[in-house]
Amino acid sequence: IAGITQAPTSQILAAGRRMTLRCTQDMRHNAMYWYRQDLGLGLRLIHYSNTAGTTGKGEVPDGYSVSRANTDDFPLTLASAVPSQTSVYFCASSRETNTGELFFGEGSRLTVL
Amino acid sequence: DQQVKQNSPSLSVQEGRISILNCDYTNSMFDYFLWYKKYPAEGPTFLISISSIKDKNEDGRFTVFLNKSAKHLSLHIVPSQPGDSAVYFCAASGGTQGGSEKLVFGKGTKLTVNP
């Protein structure tokens, strides 16, 4: 089934550790995004990439980095995790970059202790 | 400052009745509006959208209304079904003023449809 695959589904991590959340799409969408969802705060954009080889900062980029070496993969890295990064992380992609119609993965629940 | 506001955190309706979810926005540059539905332990899924050149868009049981002068949009679900129980996110984007990276989400409204 075409779509977005995120891994891991869930992870408990000690503070200070490095963590990479993986995201792969098979829809050949140019644009990809990482959001975090926190209770009472909705969905907030962390980083995005409009095409392979380019990335940009979203609303809450601090403490996170991304890379876009190819069209399909868009990993999100926490260099040194902190408890405030406990959240559910959603990767998304879009066929067009100007409509807001996104396809989301099923999420990665990260707990930083 | 919240640019997209969903002031009702939750809504409960009876099966068969109408569900009305509301959303207000502050940025007059927004020209494309979307609703997403999210079930527990799943990612959000796109539901319906409307461009600022329209005031209504209908897709089956779902209709979105846009009132630009009031900076208000609403999602109507008629008739409501128990499977519609989910969190609904309103979102807005700047269209030609920005790409999908400019998409701004509301905090969501949890809809419960009781059998």
**pLDDT per residue rounded down to tens, chain B (115 residues):** 678 999 999 999 999 999 999 999 998 888 899 999 999 999 999 999 999 999 999 999 999 999 999 999 999 999 999 999 999 999 998 755 556 667 899 999 999 999 9
- Using an 8 Å Cβ cutoff, are A89 and A33 in contact? no
More confident residue, B69 or A41: B69
Q: List A6's β-bridge partners, or say none.
A: A23
What is the predicted pLDDT for the residue at A1?
60
B70 part of contact set with chain A, CB < 8 Å: no
What is the predicted pLDDT for the residue at B100?
63
What is the predicted pLDDT for the residue at A45?
93
Does A112 have pLDDT greater than 60? yes
Q: For A109, name the nearest residue in chain B, comparing CA atoms only.
A: B41
Q: Is the peptide bond before B115 cis (omega within 30 degrees of 0)?
A: no
What is the predicted pLDDT for the residue at A92?
95
Does A40 have pLDDT greater than 90? no
**Residues of chain A with a CB closer than 8 angstroms to some CB in chain B:** 4, 31, 33, 40-45, 48, 50, 56, 58, 90, 92, 94, 96-107
First to last CA, chain A: 35
What is the predicted pLDDT for the residue at B38?
95
Question: Taking the mean position of all CA atoms in its chain, how far away is CA A52?
Answer: 15
What is the predicted pLDDT for the residue at B106?
94
Residue appearing with tokens 């050949």: A28
* Mean pLDDT, chain A, integer: 93
A22 vs A13: CA distance, rounded Å:
15
Summarize pLDDT for A73-84 with one digit per residue, the tens. Answer: 999 999 999 999
CB-CB: which of B43, B46, B101 is closest to A58?
B101
Does A93 have pLDDT greater than 90? yes
Contact B95 A106 (CB under 8 A): no
3-state secondary structure of B39: coil
